[in-house]
Each structure stands twice: as C-alpha cells, then as structure tokens.
Structure 1
Amino acid sequence: MTAFLATLGGKLADTWLSLLVLPGLLYLAVAAAGSVLGHRNPFGRGLLTERIDTMAGTPATHSPGTVVLVAALVLAASAGTSRLAGVLGGGVERMWLGDWPRPLRPAARALTRRRARRWSAADARYRQALTARALRAAAESRDALAPDAPDGPPALDDPADRPTTAELGEARNLIALARPVRPTWMGDRLLAADARVYQAYAIDLTSAWPRLWLLLPDTAHGEIQAARSALTGAARRGAWGLLYVLPALWWWPAALVVAVTWTGAWRQARLAVHEFAELVEATVDLHGRDLATALGIACEERLTAAEGLEITRTLRKGA
C-alpha cells in the first residue's frame, strides 16, 4: 500500500506540474516580459536584463520570506491560469461542436443554412454525375451490341475535362457527410455518425450507446477514450491561444503565439472528431450483433435494419 501511494503521489505530482504549473508559468513569463518590452522594442533583451537586475538589487529580494511568498504567489497564479484555460477549453469545445450560446444562435442558424445550401448544391452535382455516368455506360453497352449503329450527337465537352464522380463526392463530403444541421463541420461530423448508423441499421445511437459501451472490450474502450481525450486536449490548447490574446495587446509577438496555437489546436480537433466518429461507427459495425444478442433479439448472421429497428424499439421503451 505504501508503494502504491508513493507511485500515485508521483503521478499526481507529474500531472499537476505538466498540466497546471508549466503552461501557467510560461504564460505569466510571456505576459511579464511583454509588459516590459512593449510594441516598440519587442526583442530588446538588454531592456529585459536591466529590469531583472534592478529587481534583483532591491532589498526585498534578499529576504527568504519574501522569496518564498513570491514563489507561492507565482505558483498559485500559474495553477489558476491553467484552471481558467481548462474552463475556457470547455467553451471552445462547445463552439467547435456547434453548441453555441443563445446570443449567437441567430448567427449559428444563418451559418447552418449557408452550409446546407452548399451541401445541397454539391450533392446535386454528385448525383447528376452519377446519372450521367450511368447513361454513358448504357450508351457504351448499346454501341458494343450494335457497332454499326449511327453515332449520337457529338459531345459538347471533353469527358476528361469533367470532374469525376469520386471528386464530386469528395467535394460534398468535405462540407459534411450528411446534410448539415450544425454551424460547424465538427458538430456535423459527430451527428453524421448518428445519422449514418440509423440509415444503415435503424439503430438510435443515443439510446444504444450506453448499453453498447458496457459490452465493449477494454481495447475498444481505450481507443475511444483516447480519441475523446484528444479532442479535450485540443480544446484546451485552443483556450490557451485565446488567453495569449491579452499579452498580444501590449507585445505583438504574442499574436504569433495566438495564430500558431489556435491553428494547431483546430486542426488537431478536426482529426480527433473524425477519428472519434469513425470509432463510434466501427463499434456499431463490429459489436451491433452483440448488443442484439444481449437484448434477446435474434441475429444469427449480419445485423440488418430489421434487427436494428427492434433494438431501437426495445431501448426507447415506447418513448
């Protein structure tokens, strides 16, 4: 037990140091250095060194009590700043997933309508390309059966200049995998997993997921939790990017930190959301039969919409 507590204490100390103290210390150092340097002399190392020497020469810095008090205040401020970043990270994650607060909901609805129009136009182009390809295939089949038949009207454009159906489908999927109902790509990507599962299996993922989670092996738990943690970590880094806007007001190089941190966090969040959604769909594909069996629903071969609809009726309990 003593060894276990010692190991646990070491892990907690490492976590506290890496997640709370170090990022907060870096932020405070940037804010303090920026307040000394300012916009006019952003890289003046001599000015910064002079200010540090002046502070070190004051009588208070030679008092052990003062040094301990300042160190404690700096550590507390670092931890508090990191906690603030964690709270802001939750807000950043909600914004990325399209769950916007009430004052921003008119803008969210307008953005959702715009994304839906773009998706509908891209989907129409994709379906037209599919129809045109089917017609060309039918024409080629007729020509093969009747090679002496007169040619039809000449093509108005070169087929090589037309985008392929795969390219049109990819262009549509870059907007969303299903018709957008959220103002952001990340929010729609998660909802698309729900829609695709219901379309394929008639399973209400909201009702089925807690029960399905209980049936998963530890390996699947770890993969899904890692993807979810990656999204939370990216949102936290995005929050740090927002916090660096404040020192950027008096020290412009901090604006570079904002741009790099926010861009990297946003790209990582998109990857994490995509991976999480893929894992959720894969979980239903691989373990949907296990859920049906656990509920007493016969599913001898592959899971189909018939068994999925019975799962949904059972889990909703008439709701």
Structure 2
Amino acid sequence: MTAFLATLGGKLADTWLSLLVLPGLLYLAVAAAGSVLGHHDPFRHGLLTDRIDTMAGTPATHSPGTVVLVAVLVLVASAGAGRLAGALGGGVERLWLGDWPRPLRGAAGALTRRRAQRWSAADARYRQALTRRALRAAAETRAAPAPDTSQGPPAPDEPADRLSAPATTELGEARNIIALARPARPTWMGDRLLAADARVHQAYAIDLTSAWPRLRLLLPDTAHAEIQAARMALTTAARRAAWGLLYLLPALWWWPASLIVAVTWAGAWRQARLAVHEFAELVEAAVDLHGRDLATALGIPCEERLTAAEGLEITRTLRKGA
C-alpha cells in the first residue's frame, strides 16, 4: 500500500506539474513580457533586461520572505490559469462536438441545415454517378458480341466503367468529407461520432448509446486502453485550444501573442479531428470484434457472426422496453 501511494503521489505530481504549472508559467511569462514590450516595439528584448535589472536592484528582492511569497503566488497563479484552461477546454469540446448552449441553438440549427443540404447534394451526385455506371455497364453487356471460343478461352473482360470509376470514387469521397452519414450536428466532429452510432445501427440494429457502457466492460485491456487514449487525445486537444483562447488577453497589449493564438488553435483543432476520427473508428471496431461477446453475456444465442437479428434482440434487452 505504501508503494502504491508513493507511485500515485508521483503521478499526481507529474500531472499537476505538466498540465497546470508549466503551461501556466509560460502564460504568465508571455503576459508579463508583453505588458513591458507593448505593441510599438514588441521584440525589443532590451526593455525586458532593463526591467529585470531594475527589479533586482530593489531592497525587497533581497528578502527571503519576499522571494518565497512571490514564488508561491506565481505557482498559485500558474495553477489557477491551468484550471481555467481546463474549464474552458470542456466548453471548447462541447462546441466541437456540436453540443451548443441555448443562446447558440439558432445558429447551430442553421449550420446543421446547411451542412445537411450540402451532404444531400453530394450524395445525390454520387448516387447518380453509380446509376449511370450501372446503366452503361448493362448496355455494353447487351451490345457485346458472343465470345469466340474457337481459339481458346476468352480474355477477361475489362470493366466497362473503367473511365468513370475514379470520378465516382471522388464524388463519394467528396460526400464523406462533409459527413459519413446525413449531418445532424453543426460540426464535423459531432457528426463523426453520430455516424458511428448510425453505421452500427444500420449494420447490426444495435443502439450504441445503450450498448456501449456494457460493451466497455467486456473489452480486453488493450482495446480499452486504445479507446481511452483516443478519448484523452480529444480532451488534450480541447485544453490546448483553451490555452489559445487565454492568449487572446495578452494579445490586447502585445500583438505577437495573436500568433500564438492562431498556431495553438489550428494545431489543437487538427489534433481534435484526428482524435475524434480515431475514437469513432475504434468504437465501431469494438462492436465488430466483440459484439458477439455482448450477445453471449446477455444470454442471446450468437453462434456465428453477429447479424441484425441478434443486434435487435440486444437493443430490446438493453433498452428494457424503452
């Protein structure tokens, strides 16, 4: 137990230092340096050295009590900034996933309808291309002469739609860039998670919202760790974006901080999209690979592959008639 508590204390200290103190110290340093430099001459480091020399020459800096008090205040302020970034990160994550607050519901609805219209138009173009390919292939098959087998077996036919296949694939990719299923959220990340639910329900008739908490209990440690890592990557990206928002404040008096905002937000947004995609893929993979285990654990016969019949029975069992 002593060893466990020592290890736990070390991990908590490392987490506190890496997530709260160090980013907070950097933030305070940028804010303090920016307040000295200002907009007019933002890269004149001589101003900083002069200010540091002036502060070092004051009698208070030679008092141990003053030094300890300032150090404690700096650490507390750094940790406070880190906690604020964590709280803002939760809000950023909700915005990314399309769970917008009530004052923004109107804008969310308008953006969702716009994305749904774009997706419907792209889906219609893709399906029309598939129909044309099928009709062209059928027409060429009817018009093709009977093969001459007197000189040996006929050569394999080339695909009749070989010229339109790349274009059709591009149309499908253009639709999937918008969303993998019809958009129901104002953001791509929110729709990516909903698409996993829709695809699982379409393939297995399983209500993923009801099944996921039970399925998680059956996953092996490796799969559980992979899914948890992808989920934490999204939280980390949202926290990075929140730090970017906090840097808007020093940008008011030191414009180079706005560059930190842009770079931090862009990198966090890219990381979040990758994390959401990986998380959704891992959730679908968990259902594909361990859906039979869930059926067996619930007492539903599933001897071979999981089908919609067993999935529907799983949904009925888990929803308890709701």
TM above 0.5, yes or no, is yes
Kindly provide the amino acid, as one letter, of the partner of residue 306 in structure 1. Answer: A
How many Å apart are 1:19 and its aligned residue? 1.1
- Write the distance in 2 (CA, Å) between the matches of 1:267 and 1:233: 12
- Write the distance in 2 (CA, Å) between the matches of 1:246 and 1:172: 39
| Mapped contact 2:234–2:275 kept (Cα < 8 A) | yes
Kindly provide the amino acid, as one letter, of the partner of residue 8 in structure 1. Answer: L
Q: Deviations over 1:225-279 (max 9, x none)?
A: 0000000000000000000011111111101100000000000000000000000
Kindly provide the amino acid, as one letter, of the partner of residue 82 in structure 1. Answer: G
Indicate the residue corresponding to 1:194 in structure 2: 197
Indicate the residue corresponding to 1:153 in structure 2: none
Kindly provide the amino acid, as one letter, of the partner of residue 251 in structure 1. Answer: W
Tell me, yes or no, if structure 1 residue 305 matches structure 2 residue 313. no
Indicate the residue corresponding to 1:130 in structure 2: 130
Kindly provide the amino acid, as one letter, of the partner of residue 289 in structure 1. Answer: R
Indicate the residue corresponding to 2:91 in structure 1: 91
Question: Secondary structure at 1:164's aligned position in 2?
Answer: helix
- Write the distance in 2 (CA, Å) between the matches of 1:145 and 1:138: 13
- Write the distance in 2 (CA, Å) between the matches of 1:162 and 1:281: 28
Indicate the residue corresponding to 2:282 in structure 1: 279
- Write the distance in 2 (CA, Å) between the matches of 1:75 and 1:276: 35
Indicate the residue corresponding to 1:228 in structure 2: 231
Q: Deviations over 1:27-81 (max 9, x none)?
A: 0000000000001110001111101111111111111111110110000000000
Greater CA drift, 210-219 or 264-273: 210-219
How many Å apart are 1:163 and its aligned residue? 5.9
Residue pairs, 1:44-193, within 5 angstroms: 44-145=44-145, 164-193=167-196
- Write the distance in 2 (CA, Å) between the matches of 1:161 and 1:314: 46
- Write the distance in 2 (CA, Å) between the matches of 1:108 and 1:265: 22
Question: Secondary structure at 1:145's aligned position in 2?
Answer: coil
Indicate the residue corresponding to 1:246 in structure 2: 249
Q: Deviations over 1:59-115 (max 9, x none)?
A: 111111111101100000000000000000000000000000100110000000000
Distance 1:164 1:42, change over 3 A: same
**RMSD, matched Cα:** 1.4
Q: Deviations over 1:171-211 (max 9, x none)?
A: 00000000000000000000000000000000001111111
Kindly provide the amino acid, as one letter, of the partner of residue 123 in structure 2. Answer: D
Indicate the residue corresponding to 2:17 in structure 1: 17
How many Å apart are 1:143 and its aligned residue? 2.4
Indicate the residue corresponding to 1:150 in structure 2: none
How many Å apart are 1:160 and its aligned residue? 5.3
- Write the distance in 1 (CA, Å) between the matches of 2:18 and 2:193: 30
- Write the distance in 1 (CA, Å) between the matches of 2:321 and 2:9: 49
How many Å apart are 1:161 and its aligned residue? 8.3
Distance 1:68 1:80, change over 3 A: same
Kindly provide the amino acid, as one letter, of the partner of residue 167 in structure 1. Answer: E
- Write the distance in 1 (CA, Å) between the matches of 2:215 and 2:279: 15
- Write the distance in 2 (CA, Å) between the matches of 1:114 and 1:203: 29
What fraction of aligned residue pairs are identical, expressed as a percent? 88
Indicate the residue corresponding to 1:214 in structure 2: 217
| Mapped contact 2:27–2:247 kept (Cα < 8 A) | yes
Indicate the residue corresponding to 1:43 in structure 2: 43
| Contiguous gaps of at least 5 residues in structure 2 | 148-161
Distance 1:27 1:73, change over 3 A: same
Kindly provide the amino acid, as one letter, of the partner of residue 104 in structure 1. Answer: L
Deviating beyond 6 angstroms after TM superposition, the runs of 4 or more aligned structure 1 residues are none
Q: Deviations over 1:210-230 (max 9, x none)?
A: 111111111111000000000
